[in-house]
Amino acid sequence: MRRAQRRRWGVWAFVVAALLFAVSGAAPVHAQGPKAPPTVVFMTDFGVVDDSVALCKGVMYSIAPELRIVDLTHQVTPFSILDGARFLFGATPYFPAGTVFLVVIDPGVGSTRKAIVAKSKRGQYFVLPDNGLMTLVDDRDGIAAVREITNRDWMIGAALSSTFHGRDIFSPVGAHLAHGEDWTRVGPEMAVNRLVRLDLAASRLDARGLNGEVIATDGPYGNLLTNISGEDFLTLGYSHGQNVPVTLGKTEMNIPFVRTFSDVALKKPLLYIDSRGHLALAINQGSFAETYSIQPPVSIFFPRAKK
């Protein structure tokens, strides 16, 4: 009996020792992994045929080697503040609070336009020129605070270039912010309601139908992007599969309203609600803009569906 008891006590002692070792030596199941590196989302109209983008990245890595730089695009239509504002609007919901968006679409570089850092109410930071780029993000997310970039310690070069603020001002500031430095050190606070805004025409719904505008084309595909929300279009009474009368500029057309490109035959036009929730026009495996010689901006009108 005593021998059996000793065996039982031995087993329990082994179990307890194993548990103590596991508790003391192993990481808890809920322990967090390594912290993700700080992220800068970088967008310009520089293109990629020269060294401009690489120089800006070199500046950022010199200040914060741990950075993760995400290239949103460097193929923004040259000087198109509207395209930059659209891409920001489309991208920001997919990045977390704390992300730094560095945007250099700056046709007024070297002028009296201000260089700023804006903090949205979603907790994201935007390092860019004050030229209207924040318009759409402001309308959806709101801006919590804005500061003008004046701190020379956060810039590079004894003599700043008057034409390459992307390298000398915006890139180093973006890196300092992503590195975790206090963003209020960048410069004095500005009034949020004094930011430059784009003068964007809104679509208009009335008894006749829906008036809007083709505002851009979709990259290399030549799809036409409009300022008409899918929600507004659906109030006209059309259903998928119906042909919809469209007045595009001065041209009248009938285009089927479908869910996706392959719902029509190859090289045929279609009307659809795009991934950002706006009405768009396309050709299945073709370019609507090229086929119909469309250069935005162009007016567009849809009548209400006949009952």
Query: Is a pLDDT exceeding 70 seen at residue 39?
Result: yes
Pairing of strands 68-73, 39-44: parallel
Q: What is the pLDDT of residue 26?
A: 45
Query: Is a pLDDT exceeding 50 seen at residue 29?
Result: no
Q: What is the pLDDT of residue 20?
A: 44
**What tokens does 103 get?**
């945007």
pLDDT tens digits for 135-149?
A: 999 999 999 999 999
- For the chain, list the domains and their CATH numbers: 39-194 (3.40.50.10790), 204-303 (2.40.30.90)
Q: Of 1-10, 32-41, 108-117, where does the model show the most confidence? A: 108-117
pLDDT category of residue 36 using cuts at 50, 70 and 90: confident
Query: Is a pLDDT exceeding 60 seen at residue 207?
Result: yes
Query: Is a pLDDT exceeding 90 seen at residue 22?
Result: no
Q: What is the DSSP string of 170-200?
A: IHHHHHHHHTT--GGGGS-EE-GGGS----P
pLDDT category of residue 110 using cuts at 50, 70 and 90: confident
Query: Is a pLDDT exceeding 90 seen at residue 185?
Result: yes
Q: What is the pLDDT of residue 1?
A: 47
> Which run of H or E residues covers position 104?
strand 100-104
What is the pLDDT averaged over residues 87-102? 96
Q: What is the pLDDT of residue 87?
A: 95
What is the pLDDT averaged over residues 104-127? 95
Query: Is a pLDDT exceeding 80 seen at residue 232?
Result: yes
Q: What is the pLDDT of residue 129?
A: 97
Q: What is the DSSP string of 122-146?
A: TS-EEEEESSSTTHHHHHHH-EEEE
Inter-helix orientation angle 171-178/52-63, to 10°: 40
pTM of the model: 0.82
Query: Is a pLDDT exceeding 80 seen at residue 34?
Result: no
Q: What is the pLDDT of residue 196?
A: 97
**What tokens does 123 get?**
């907790």
